Amino acid sequence: MHTIEPYYNWRNLYIASEDPQSPFFGYENSEVHFTDQIYNFLIHPQWDNFGSETLFLKVVFADYDDGFAIIELFGEWNDLLNNDIMTLKRGVIELMIAEGINKYILICENLLNFHADLDSDDYYDEWQDELEEGWIAVLNLRDHVLSEMCKYGIDQYLVMGGKLNDIAWRTRHPKQLFEKIDELVMRRLSL
């Protein structure tokens, strides 16, 4: 797991730690020291820790004029034990919403597992309600993670599956990716 690193080819366009509007402004990642782990497995030091024990992320692009952010996730999304949705919502998303971000592209090909809390979808509902004209799109989920999220109704808050599960996002400029995802999401929401 220590060899899986966040996408870095857009660093010439955006770096969250250098963005004063980012929740990660001033965040310092080690170039050589492995400081975080998921269970007993060290992870690449370029992933950002937002307070979860098993889920890490990297804001790979944010555009405040168009109101969107692209966030790459890594690890295990565990609402059952760690309430990761609350930690993500309170520690990252609320700060981004305050800066005008209302459309979220979550890249989840490195999301290895998902564990739902059967009694708590409040934070998903809250996140969706606070977006006004926005949305949350999830790209490239592993089949078992997509199945688990749908099984527990998370798909009523996050747009996922279908064409969103096979997007070649690395070959696009972030604004082109946003336009493509916006088109897919708006088409789906209008059905």
* Backbone phi, psi, residue 16, to 5°: -60, -40
On whether the CB atoms of residues 58 and 9 are closer than 8 A, the answer is: no
Q: Collect all residues with Cβ–Cβ distance below 8 Å to 65 and sequence separation of at least 6.
A: none
Per residue in 75-120, pLDDT (tens digit) is 999 999 989 999 999 999 999 999 999 999 999 999 999 999 877 6
What are the structural domains of the chain?
16-189 (3.30.750.24)
Instruction: State residue 142's pLDDT score.
Output: 97
Using one digit for the tens of pLDDT, what is the confidence trace for 29-79? 887 788 888 898 899 999 999 999 999 999 999 999 999 999 999 999 999
pTM to 2 decimal places: 0.96
pLDDT band per the 50, 70, 90 thresholds, residue 191:
low
| Residue 140: pLDDT over 80 | yes
Greater confidence (28 vs 31) lies with 28
**Residue bearing tokens 């290895």:** 112
* Residue 160: half-sphere exposure toward Cβ, Cα within 13 Å: 23
